[in-house]
Copies of this chain bind each other. A is one copy, B any other.
Amino acid sequence: MVTTSEPGTVSPDRLLPADPTTRAIARELLTCVEDLPIVSPHGHVSASVIADDEPFADPARLLVTPDHYVTRLLHANGASLAALGVGNADADPRAIWRAFCAAWPVFDGTASANWLVSELADLFDVREVPSRESADRLYERIAARLGEPALRPRALVQSFAVEVLATTDDPLDDLAAHHRLAADPTFTARVLPTFRPDAYVDAATPDFADRVDRLIAQAGEGRSGYDGYLTALRGRRQHFLEAGGTAADHGVRAPRSLKLEAPAAARLFDRVRRGGATQDDRDAFEAHMLYEMARMSVEDGLVMAIHPGSLRNYDPDTYARYGPDTGHDIPVPVEFATGLRPLLADFGNAPGFHVVLFTLDESTFSRELAPLAGFYRGVYLGSPWWFLDAPDAMLRFRAAVTETTGFSRYGGFVDDTRAFCSIPARHNVARRVEASFLARLVAEHRLTLTRAREIIVDVIDAAPRRAFKL
């Protein structure tokens, strides 16, 4: 009586609500957006991977090692990161793959399982469940195909129907890979850089002073100190704008802004740059620079994206051995209203200013983010991010913000991924979630089906273009 999918199959109704009326509406809404191109305004795929267009090395390096959603849960269940190839180029890819397949059941119910099942089916026509038993067979099958031209990065970007893909880049990056891609007439996707100045603002970054000095030396136009620093940041933002960039991304610990007068800011800069500043000094500098970069955004038009509230590199031992982005960044409570007040008071309604607010703390959805985005012209709601980038969490986001702000203040879905092949799966999940949410509103007579059809297209396609100025 109970009909469910067989292992490994990808149901056309996956993620849609069980109630038959609602599901039928969701299906209909999904057809409005399922084939739209992908607009990805924020992510961590490297432009040079696409520009170089080398075949992917092996299944493990493609699907396991670079995906810290995957490696972290394998680690929690006993694997060592080194054995998964993290920071370890010598690890045997077959061994990595076997460890991954054998541990497959730990992913049941996770967002990652969802994405991986889609990737295996859609890219490699693999519909078998990974397991200790199937590991070698799947490895052969995937590895055999990685040499195919259709599975090289540029071809994949195009077959994914990616129209825009934003990368995240160091301010001193020459953006050569972006220029190479733009110069390829056969490659139609727009791969755009995003200005990410965190390492030049957060004094806890290793070699912070050296970085700052290098920034000023390269782009300070001969000025020094705080003046050279601001000049260099402005200059590099211009460099990103010229390469097609539309956004600056800020991974601050706290969404805190502070307006200092120039002399006080210059003294603070000197203390922080020299090292030995207190934590309070460093926090104040980060908060002041968030304010200053909002001012720059008003001037030069770069959209400001704020991704706050993660305690990065939480585990000191893992950080020492494997470096950053290895699965142990842990969220903390955040508070937007008080922290962003100086910035929003001065720039929140400024013409052309856009700030997209992301959060890892769900309690801020209805408490602060919807109220802010429902008043300030410049504030857009970032899509559920990172640990919240999953169907149930995305539905909670929608339910929490829509009653206050409707759909017009949404910043568009952001896949935020380093896992290149998961991009279409992630966008597909977002489309299914929007269809499910809207279908419920239609089924509950809170919205007409006609409007829901228009809204889902707006949310999926127009929203990221609008918020990120694409």
Contacts and interface: CB of A to CB of B under 8 A. Distances in A.
Interface of A: 1-2, 4-7, 11, 13-22, 24-25, 28, 72-73, 75-78, 105-111, 113-114, 311, 314-318, 327-333, 335, 337-338, 341, 344-345, 348-349, 360-363, 366-368, 370-377, 379, 387-388, 390-393, 396, 399-400, 402-409, 440-451, 454-455
Contact of A408 (B77, B314, B391, B445): B77
B2 A21 contact: yes
Contact of A109 (B366, B406, B450): B406
A76 B377 contact: yes
Nearest to A437: B109
Contacts of A442: 2, 4
B375 A403 contact: no
A458 to B, nearest CB: 9
A446 B332 contact: no
A199 B447 CA distance: 41
A354 to B, nearest CB: 12
B391 A371 contact: no
Contacts of A6: 448
A335 B338 contact: no
A22 B387 CA distance: 26
B21 A18 contact: yes
Given A314-B341, A338-B332, A450-B7, A72 B361 contact: no
A120 to B, nearest CB: 15
A345 B363 contact: no
Contacts of A388: 366
Contacts of A331: 337, 367-368, 371
A345 B316 contact: yes
Nearest to A6: B448
Given A311-B337, A314-B345, A315-B348, 6 more contacts: A76-B409, A109-B441, A110-B402, A330-B371, A333-B335, A362-B366
A446 B375 contact: no
